[in-house]
Amino acid sequence: MADAQTFVIVGAALAGASAAKTLRQEGFGGRVVLVGAEAHHPYIRPPLSKDFLRGEAGLDDVFVEKAEWYADHDIELRTGVTALGVDPVDHLVALDSGEELHYAKLLLATGSRPRRLTVEGAGLSGVHALRTLGDSEALRAELTGGGRRVVTIGAGWIGLEVAATAKTLGNEVVVLDRGSVPLASVLGAEVGRVFAQLHADNGVRLRGGAVVDHLVGDAGRVTGVALTSGEVIAADVVVAGLGAEPNLALAESAGLALENGVAVDAALRSSDPDIVAAGDIANALHPLVDIRLRSEHWANALNGGAAAARSMLGQPVSYDDIPYFYTDQFDLGMEYSGFGPLARDARVVFRGDVAGREFLAFWLNGDRVVAGMNVNVWDVNETVQAIIRHGSAVDAAALADPDVPLESFAGGEGEAA
């Protein structure tokens, strides 16, 4: 690997920062340029709906590294700069500054953008989405001190985490969900009801079957959410938690093969041999289950960015991390590992006290564990992942029995349960 080569990383969030760090850790001595559209240097997003939003974490807690770290490691960090297009023939990335960057290898880690409300009134003051550090700071200013009427539109992870934070800060909170059970599309109704009860027990009002027609305002400020039923729910603050969409404009400009994101192999290589992709946009072939997976979670950005860097260096890479995410809402802490597409319509086996919200849940596709979740039970995630990775047939009754050692289902792997 010639030191004169330039590696360009577009996307200065966790995946991009992780890749830049790994390049240097692996001894790459060439030029590394990290381009980000945001004004901030790279940061992590999970705290933005949790402890940072509550005011319990500061800026130093969200940044991947201190600002000076990048210069200290000879990484050219370009913040507040947008990449406009990629010329894969001449190996050029065009920036909105007018500069063109020539690359030997290119990593696209352009992340996602929140799905925006498109109903009448969506542009009123007091209506928020949550994706960036700036979004979280603006929302925190509205929620701090309590006493506000907060409506979250959407009962996914962002909607529920913001609802929990807003309620903890002393606000009145309503969650609107098109479905009947929150998180049912990702966890199924049985587990979704655990989160529904959690929020109800903490004074959050959950409204299933609620479809927003428009937002109501006065003097440019939101005052309510009007449903298609004709009901208007009073609101001082509205948060749209409608999911996210991958930012694929650069990949499209480069002519890359797309399939629910950038189609990449197990080494995170795209259809262009000199372009890799990582993070939210990468729909990667997972070698353990031989299906494509696109994950918009923190662990995938961290570990996928590192894997992409090694792939850029020509190292043998088979990115086989089992997808992982976590949430903290009120007094519930949870870790989930597994293959979402394989867990849909799978049988759920519980182990522990579901009503007391201290349990494990396993999703069985046939007699194989394809996903697992620990709720307020700690130091078991490695074992859960080992069970999934082991892939052997399990007895559902034994899996549900807390007297049967959990590690026995993982071939003896993982930490003790």
d(Cα 350, Cα 373) in Å, to the nearest integer? 10
Better-scored residue on pLDDT, 417 or 375: 375
Instruction: Answer whether 77's CB lies under 8 Å from 12's CB.
Output: yes
d(Cα 105, Cα 97) in Å, to the nearest integer? 21
Give residue-wise pLDDT tens across range 44-82. Answer: 999 999 999 999 999 999 999 999 999 999 999 999 999
- Going from the N-terminus, what domains does the chain have, and what CATH number goes with each? 6-113+245-312 (3.50.50.60), 127-242 (3.50.50.60), 331-410 (3.30.390.30)
Instruction: Answer whether 272's CB lies under 8 Å from 256's CB.
Output: yes
Mean pLDDT (the chain, rounded): 96
Can you tell me which residue has the tokens 């795209």?
270
Mean pLDDT to the nearest integer, 261-277: 98
pLDDT band of residue 413 (cuts 50, 70, 90) is: low
Q: Is the pLDDT of residue 2 over 70?
A: no
Max Cα separation, the chain?
Answer: 66
Instruction: Answer whether 341's CB lies under 8 Å from 330's CB.
Output: no
Mean pLDDT to the nearest integer, 32-39: 98
Mean pLDDT to the nearest integer, 202-221: 98
Quote the strand ranges of 165-218, DSSP E. Answer: 172-177, 205-208, 212-218
Q: What is the pLDDT of residue 417?
A: 35
Q: Is the pLDDT of residue 323 over 90?
A: yes
DSSP structure string for 265-317: -TT-B-SSTTEEE-GGGEEEEETTTTEEE---SHHHHHHHHHHHHHHHTT---
Q: What is the pLDDT of residue 3?
A: 47
Phi-psi region of 194 (alpha: psi -120 to 50; beta: other; left: phi over 0): alpha
d(Cα 225, Cα 95) in Å, to the nearest integer? 40
Give residue-wise pLDDT tens across range 327-338. Answer: 999 999 999 999
What SS3 class is residue 65?
A: coil
Distances (CA, A) of 34 to 91, 136, 227, 310: 16, 24, 44, 16
